[in-house]
Amino acid sequence: MNQAPVPLCVQLDRTLTPIDTGHEALLSLCRQSPAAVLRFPVWLAHGVRCLRQQVAARVRFDAETLPLRPELLAWLSSERAKGRRLVLVTNLPRDAAGSLAARMQIFDELLLVDVADPVTGDAARRALVARFGEQGFDYLGDDPAAGAVWQSARAGLLLEGGRLRARDGSEPGVDMGASAQARSPRVWLKAIRLHQWVKNVLVFLPALLAHRIGDPPVFLASLLAFVAFGLCASSVYVVNDLLDLSSDRRHPRKRLRPFASGVLSARSGLLASSALLATSVLLAATVNRWFCLSLAAYYFFTWLYTLQLKRAAIVDVMALAGLYTLRIIAGAAATTIEPSFWLLAFSIFIFLSLGIVKRFAELDGARQAGRDGGYGRGYSSDDLSLLMSLGIAAGYSAVVVMALYINSADSQALYKHNKPLWLICPLMLYWISRIWLLTSRGQMEDDPVVFAVRDRISLAVLGLIGFVVFVSL
122-164 residue pLDDT tens: 888 888 999 999 999 989 888 777 788 888 888 887 776 666 7
Among 33-47, 100-114, 166-180, 383-397, the range with the most confident prediction by mean pLDDT is 383-397
Lowest mean pLDDT among 319-333, 372-386, 458-472: 372-386
pLDDT of 247 above 50: yes
Quick one: CATH architecture of 183-472?
Orthogonal Bundle (1.10)
Lowest mean pLDDT among 81-85, 87-91, 107-111, 168-172: 168-172
Arithmetic mean of pLDDT, 373-380: 66
The proportion of the chain whose per-residue pLDDT surpasses 70, expressed as a percent, equals 93
CA angle centred on 402, ends 211 and 345, rounded to 5°: 85
pLDDT (0 to 100) of residue 306: 79
Arithmetic mean of pLDDT, 309-317: 87
Confidence of residue 2 (pLDDT cuts 50, 70, 90): very low
Domain with CATH 1.10.600 in the chain: 183-472
pLDDT (0 to 100) of residue 376: 55
pLDDT (0 to 100) of residue 1: 43
pLDDT of 175 above 70: no
Confidence of residue 176 (pLDDT cuts 50, 70, 90): low
pLDDT (0 to 100) of residue 399: 96
pLDDT (0 to 100) of residue 377: 66
Confidence of residue 355 (pLDDT cuts 50, 70, 90): very high
pTM equals 0.80
Domain with CATH 3.40.50.1000 in the chain: 8-177
pLDDT (0 to 100) of residue 286: 94
pLDDT of 174 above 90: no
pLDDT (0 to 100) of residue 336: 92
Confidence of residue 372 (pLDDT cuts 50, 70, 90): low
- Does 71 or 222 have the greater pLDDT score? 222
pLDDT of 181 above 60: no
CATH of segment(s) 8-177: 3.40.50.1000
pLDDT in tens, 49-61: 888 888 888 888 7
